[in-house]
Amino acid sequence: MAAPPSITMDNLTGTYVMERKVSDAPDAILAFQGMSWLTRQAISWATITLHVRHTKDSATGADHIDIVQKLTGGFEGTREQRIVDGTVRTHEDHVFGKVHGKSTWVARLADVGSERRDASYLSDEDRAFLVEGWGAEMEGSERVFLGYVEAESGWVAWSVWGFKEVEIEGVSERRWARHHVVVKPATGESKRARMYYDYLGPLEEGEVEKPAQDDGISDV
């Protein structure tokens, strides 16, 4: 189902499912990040649903994007808790261990990778993968989501989120998209993936409970 005009980067609240017909297979990038074979197999067969609650802090104005990922088959998903204010925070979970990262807004796609420290391992080809292929909506946007993560296990990741027209079986519809690049600085090797999500409808009551303390980041 296409994302309606009311669903934007200012308001992501809703329920989504990963559309495998057009998304890149996640196995290679997840293996690169050290995910176990068993977990990758579970992901490859499961339906992946994202329950998203997007709010704004009335005191600071920062966006809070809280995402609960659920997989069919009884496998444990992950939770993304992002505070989009550019502050570096530490997060630890059962999948990727301890990571340090931040979420921020950039004024345009061309600004992705402009921070010298954060982009020091990002090749021109990887940067192009993040910023190209978005279409008119994002190319004209002044609000582009950029996620940045450094894992203690040795990889660095960038993600850009937005909306674009995606064609499936001859029909072009507006979908939520996330472009991901993961780099291992020790070797310079990188992996890339683009993920697309169908909008299923409004967020159901109780699907995303407010966390005791948001850490502001998660893994891509």
CA atoms within 13 A on the CB side of 182: 21
Q: 30-34, 179-183, 214-218: lowest mean pLDDT where?
A: 214-218
In a domain, 219, yes or no: no
In a domain, 114, yes or no: yes
In a domain, 60, yes or no: yes
Rounded-to-integer distance, Cα 173 and Cα 171, Å: 6
Query: For residue 41, is pLDDT > 80?
Result: yes
Q: Are 138 and 161 in contact (CB under 8 A)?
A: no
Which pTM was predicted? 0.91
In a domain, 38, yes or no: yes
Rounded-to-integer distance, Cα 112 and Cα 198, Å: 25
Looking at the structure of the chain, the number of domains it has is 1
In a domain, 215, yes or no: no
Name the more confident of 206 and 167.
Answer: 167
Q: What is the pLDDT of residues 169-192, one digit of tens each?
A: 999 999 999 999 999 999 999 999
In a domain, 105, yes or no: yes
In a domain, 206, yes or no: no
CATH number at residue 31: 2.40.128.20
N- to C-terminal Cα separation, the chain: 23
Domain enclosing residue 156, as ranges: 14-201
Per-residue pLDDT, 214: 45
Q: What is the pLDDT of residues 111-159, one digit of tens each?
A: 998 765 666 789 999 999 999 999 999 999 989 999 999 999 999 999 9
Q: What is the pLDDT of residues 62-93, one digit of tens each?
A: 999 999 999 997 777 788 899 999 999 998 87
Q: What is the pLDDT of residues 152-163, one digit of tens each?
A: 999 999 999 999
The two beta strands, 63-71 and 48-56, are antiparallel
